Amino acid sequence: MKSFSVLTLLSLCLAQTAFAACRTRSTDCSPQSVCDAISKPGAFPCATTEQQSAAQCSQAATPGSDGGSVIASRLKEVGLGEQLVYPQESRYHEVVTPHWSLTAQLTPYCVVQPTTTEEVSKAVAVLAKVEGCIFAVRSGGHCVWPGSSNCDNGIVIDLGKLNGIEYDREKKVVKVQAGCRWRDVYRKAEDNGVTVSGGREGAVGVGGFLCGGGFSWLIPRSGFGCDTVVQFEVVLADGRIIQANSHENSDLFTALKGGSCNFGIVTRFDLETFPETQVWGGVNICHVSTSPKHIEYFVDYIDTIEEKADSSYGLVWAWEPRFKDVILTVMMSNTKGVVDPPALADVLEVPAMVSTVESRGVTEFALHMESPEKLYNLWRSATFSNDARILHKLVETHRDFVARLRERIPDDGFNTICFAQALPTLYAKRGQDRGGNVLGVENLGGNCISFLGAANVKDEQHVEFASGVLQDWYDSLIEYAKSIGVWKDWLYLNYSDKSQNPLQTYGQENVDKIRAAALKYDPKGVFQTKCPGGFKITKI
Distance (Å, rounded) from C-alpha 173 to C-alpha 162? 18
In tens digits, what is the pLDDT along the chain, a chain of 540 residues? 333 333 334 333 333 333 333 333 333 344 444 445 555 544 434 433 333 344 444 444 444 333 336 888 899 999 999 999 888 888 877 877 766 666 667 778 889 999 999 999 999 999 999 888 889 998 877 666 666 777 887 889 999 999 999 999 999 999 999 999 999 999 999 999 999 999 999 989 999 999 999 999 999 999 999 999 999 999 999 999 999 999 999 999 999 999 999 999 999 999 999 999 999 999 999 999 999 999 999 999 999 999 999 999 999 999 988 888 999 999 999 999 999 999 999 999 999 999 999 999 999 999 988 776 688 999 999 999 999 999 999 999 999 999 999 999 999 999 999 999 999 999 999 999 999 999 999 999 999 999 999 999 999 999 999 999 999 999 999 999 999 999 999 999 999 999 999 999 999 999 999 999 999 999 999 999 999 878 999 998
| Structural domain spans, the chain | 2-7+279-503, 31-160+520-539, 165-275
CB proximity list for 49: less than 8 A, separation 6 or greater? none
Q: Which CATH architecture has domain 165-275?
A: 2-Layer Sandwich (3.30)
Instruction: Please report, for residues 213, 336, 430, the alpha-carbon distance to residue 274 in angstroms, rounded to integers and kept in the order given.
Output: 18, 10, 15
Asked if residue 114 lies in contact with residue 80, where contact means CB atoms within 8 angstroms, the answer is yes
Distance (Å, rounded) from C-alpha 16 to C-alpha 391? 24
H-run or E-run covering 451: strand 448-457
pTM, rounded to two decimals = 0.89
How far apart are the two ends of the chain, measured CA to CA in Å?
Answer: 47
Domain 31-160+520-539 annotated CATH 3.90.1150.10? no
H-run or E-run covering 86: none
242-249 CB contacts, 8 Å cutoff, 24+ apart: 246/435, 249/521
Strand 265-272 and strand 229-235: pairing?
Answer: antiparallel
**Chain center to CA of 317:** 21
Nearest to 335 by CA among 362, 355, 316: 362
- The total number of residues shown for the chain amounts to 540
Vertex 431 angle, CA 240 and 141, to 5°: 55
Give one DSSP letter per residue of 402-445, joined into a string. Answer: HHHHHTTS-GGGEEEEEEEEEE-HHHHHHHHHTT--SS-GGGS-
Strand 155-158 and strand 110-112: pairing?
Answer: parallel
Q: Which fold, 2-7+279-503? A: Vanillyl-alcohol Oxidase; Chain A, domain 3 (3.40.462)
Nearest to 488 by CA among 472, 476, 470, 506: 506
Decide: helix, strand or coil at residue 378: strand
